Structure 1
Amino acid sequence: MAGTALLVAAAPVGKGRLVDAASVLPVLAAVSPAALAGTPTASVVELADPLDPQTVLTRLRAAAMAHGPLTVYLVGQVHLDRRQRQLHMALARTTPATMRYTGFPWHWFTQELRLRPAGSTTIVADLHTDPESWQTLTGHPLDAGPGVALYGRVAPPARRRTVETPSYMKALATVLRSGHRPPLPQLHQQAAAQSLPEGARDLLLASTGAAPVPQQTPPSSSGMDPHAAITAAVEAGRHGEAAAMAAAWEQTALRMHGPGSGEVIHWMEVRADLARFAGEPARSCETWLAVAAARLTAGQAPDSADVEAAADRAHHLWDRVRDPEAVRALGPALVALRRQVPGRQRGTLLLAQRRLEQFHTQQVG
């Protein structure tokens, strides 16, 4: 089976740089694609010092939709934004003041990878921190979500203001250059042993991503994990079956927890993702609009990470709708949402208004 490896090396330009992230790319480039992905054949996508979080998101989404195993290699630094104290991976243009708009939110990794088959996705990370993010991560270790394995290290703040070297990832790449990829726990241990001095304070990441046992009774008589069953249906091209299962679970959650509950909203989000996988951007957009409305109705703030993510996804899918009637039908709701939830990217309301006006002008003409 063919696999995919996504290499992301990013750090701010200028005095905010803590690590020379891009220096590891030539070492990784010397590793065969098969060794990087852990499959006989593989494709490799490389992002060196990306400027825009949307660029990273686009590549991550494409990689997440690929069949076969996926390994994401991350090298860079993580920080908290000043407003919401959410963890972000800093990109080339990121500064402390613009972290929320120019950094890549960590929770986007979990959201984009959550519907991949359990056990098929791995993140390998070599990350550096400032004092604030280090303090947060020592109390709340990084997590990539159920079904996603996470290996690597998080380096503490440097005692002196120097640009560090991604020594863990370089050691890992050196092991892989032999053409042999040992099991991930062993590979992780070898890289850590070769790169970290005795007594190092680095946080070592070694999570298999095992999914928790479902706490609610499934709609059918099966104990199978519903996410695994849905993913299997998507992998087999049975998109209607997958959507039906998600809808059934949503109804179960509605009966057990009530409208607006986290469980119901979760299954709405799953349905939105399934519509995207099925090539139905209009239906996916409509569902993401409903998710944003449900979160706002439940009292979540317009600038909360989950509300903004729903609005951004609705906008992203609406931009991919090509049917003029569907664009005009969904446009007013999206414009209204953007007035309330502009999101991190500037000018989203203006962009939505212009596109809707363009399609109305075409209708009149």
Structure 2
Amino acid sequence: MINGDDMTPGTALLLAAAPEGKGRLTDATSVLATLAAVPPSALTGTAVATVVELADPMDPQTVLTRLRAVAAASGPLHLYIAGQLQLDRKQRQVHLALARTTATTVRYSGLPWHWLATELAVRPPGTTTVVVDLVADSETWEQLARAGFGLGPGVRLYGRVAPPPGRRTMLGPSYLKAMAEIWRTGARPPMGQLHELAAVQGGSDGALLFGAGEGVPPSAVPDLVTQHERAHVPQQAGREPAPVPYQSSTTTAPGAAPASAPAPSAVVVRAPVPDPAPDPHPAILSAARAGRHTEAAAAAAAWESEALRAYGPGSAQALHWLEVRADLAHLAGDAGRSCELWLMAAGARLQSGQAVDDAEVEAAVDRAHHEWEQIPDPARVRTLAPDLVGLRRRVPGRQRGALQLLQQRLEQLQIRTPGAAHQA
């Protein structure tokens, strides 16, 4: 590794996906060959670059694994995403459609957009750039027009979302292709200028355009979890307040009255919120109850990131926001994600020194167990089973026979876990 800012390695993830068959609205993967002809340094803005390519992936868990890997990179991260957006008709959540996605299976076969927002929210602000060239189906387009679209604070978002094309018409990722063609000439304009050129050359009439919008920050999402409205989150009485977040505003002079929250596509300037900071929980809950699950999840993840930086892993503040995220996944109807987050919370509490019979540890394991029982996808059930069994063996809880019930369920599903044969 060569030291020095000029040699800081960057990472680019190229993700192109669209459903197979007649539900396909865009030829997303056609852009990959064009982007592959671009020098990697142009994709990342760094002299040294790593490029990861995902072409028509089928499994959302595979995409999530790759996202986590690139999100862990310490240098600048650029994501280039071409594809189509579809709505889960039951939960009204936006998904990036994958190769096997259909209108009826999108909840299980697509990548929930809030997963992407959550994974990127833990990165240092200003180190992540996402460029999208997306097409929305009719239902998703209507929802985006009402609720907006973003990836949370700290993420620079460029690109477009096009409305659904006419019948028997397929759109191409012309915005990203135009961007790649500009790079191939040897030009390296700033991203904002590049976005404007690509939007014009790619033909973006009628599309939603994003020019470095930073999504919705924690303070801009109106009110999750109040002391009296929490369905599952433990009371936080006696704990220190969470660190002060950042608040988006227009370029208002210091001391001037703050402007109203900008639209997701607005260019914003970030300024510290003066004390006392408002309680963010009611705002996040309001967003989740209104069906804006991506916004709510991104806001909670941003607060968790602030808590991690201010107080460190294993702190009461960071654990609280991790559990809020688990509750949000529950409210969004994503039992698998909720189970995963509750497992993480239980493991973090144990690692921080809490006893196996601590009420908060037991509650986290119980909730992970409950969410696991609600997961409809057998593959996801099998993936999470070993971690749940390992924790349940350490933390049997106060519900008699919980471990036995879990083992019976595993036997019914024909799932074998390490050490199962040695359990009484």
Counterpart for residue 41 of structure 1: 48
* Deviates further, 205-214 or 3-12: 205-214
Q: Give the superposition deviation at 1:266.
A: 3.6
Check if 1:270 corresponds to 2:304: yes
The aligned runs of 1:121-136 (5 Å cut-off) are 121-136=128-143
Question: 2:368 is matched with which residue: 337, 340, 351?
Answer: 337
The TM-score with structure 2 as length reference comes to: 0.63
* Aligned positions of 1:140-159 closer than 5 A: 140-159=147-166
Q: 2:337 aligns with which of 309, 326, 329?
A: 309
- Match of 1:96, SS state, is coil
Give yes or no for contact 1:289–1:310 (8 Å, CA) kept in 2: no
Q: Tell me how far apart the structure 2 counterparts of residues 94 and 332 of structure 1 sit (CA, whole Å).
A: 35
- From the superposition, tell whether residues 131 and 53 of structure 1 become closer, same or farther in structure 2 (CA, over 3 Å): same
Deviation track 1:310-349 (CA, whole Å, cap 9, x = no partner) reads 32334579899xx9xx9x9989954753434534643545
1:18 to 15, 25, 46: 25
Identify which of 77, 86, 96 aligns with 1:89: 96
In the alignment, which residue of structure 2 is the partner of 1:202? 207
CA RMSD of superposed structures (Å): 4.5
Matches within 5 A, 1:177-188: 177-188=184-195
Q: Is the contact between residue 20 and residue 165 of structure 1 (CA under 8 Å) also seen in structure 2?
A: yes
- Work out the CA distance in 2 between the residues paired with 1:292 and 1:123: 22
Corresponding letter in the other structure for 1:56: V
- In 2 relative to 1, CA 304–361 (structure 1 residues): closer, same or farther, beyond 3 Å? same
Residue 137 of structure 1 aligns with which residue? 144
Measured in 2, the distance between the counterparts of 1:98 and 1:15 equals: 15
Distance 2:150 2:140 in 1: 14
| Residues in 2 aligned to 1:214 and 1:261: alpha-carbon distance in whole angstroms | 8
Match of 2:74 among 67, 75, 93: 67
Percent sequence identity over aligned pairs = 42
Task: Give the structure 1 partner of residue 167 of structure 2.
Answer: 160
CA distance in 1, matches of 2:104, 2:62: 20
Alpha-carbon distance in 2 for matches of 1:130, 1:213: 28
CA distance in 2, matches of 1:30, 1:69: 21
Note if contact 1:269-1:287 (Cα within 8 Å) is conserved in structure 2. no
How far 1:360 sits from its partner (Å)?
A: 5.1
How far the C-alpha of 1:180 sits from its partner, in A, is 3.5
Cα separation, 2, equivalents of 1:172 and 1:156: 20
Pairwise CA distance, 1:213: 9.2
For residues 364 and 310 of structure 1, the distance between their equivalents in structure 2, rounded to whole angstroms, comes to 27
Specify the SS of the correspondent of 1:27.
helix
* 1:80–1:261 CA distance, 2 compared to 1 (3 A): closer
Please list every run of 5 or more consecutive structure 2 residues that lacks an aligned counterpart in the other structure: 1-7, 221-239, 248-275, 286-298, 394-416
Question: C-alpha displacement at 1:309, in angstroms?
Answer: 3.2
Query: Contact between 1:338 and 1:348, CA under 8 Å: does it hold in 2?
Result: no
Give the Cα separation in 2 of the matches to 1:317 and 1:30: 43
Does structure 1 residue 346 correspond to structure 2 residue 353? no
User: Quick check: 302-311 or 200-209, which moved more?
Assistant: 302-311
Provide the rounded CA distance (Å) in 1 between the counterparts of 2:31 and 2:168: 20
Residue correspondence of structure 1 range 221-240 to structure 2 within 5 A: 225=246
Alignment: residue pair count: 325
- The structure where helix makes up a greater share of residues is 1
Q: Which amino acid aligns with 1:81?
A: D
Change (3 A) 1:63 1:158: same
Residue type at the aligned position of 2:82? V
Alpha-carbon deviations, 1:130-169, whole Å to 9, x = none? 1111112222321111111111111111123222211111
Q: What is the DSSP-based 3-state SS (H/G/I as helix, E as strand, rest coil) of the residue aligned with 1:158?
A: coil
Q: Deviations over 1:156-207 (max 9, x none)?
A: 111232222111111111111234331111101111111107xx21221213
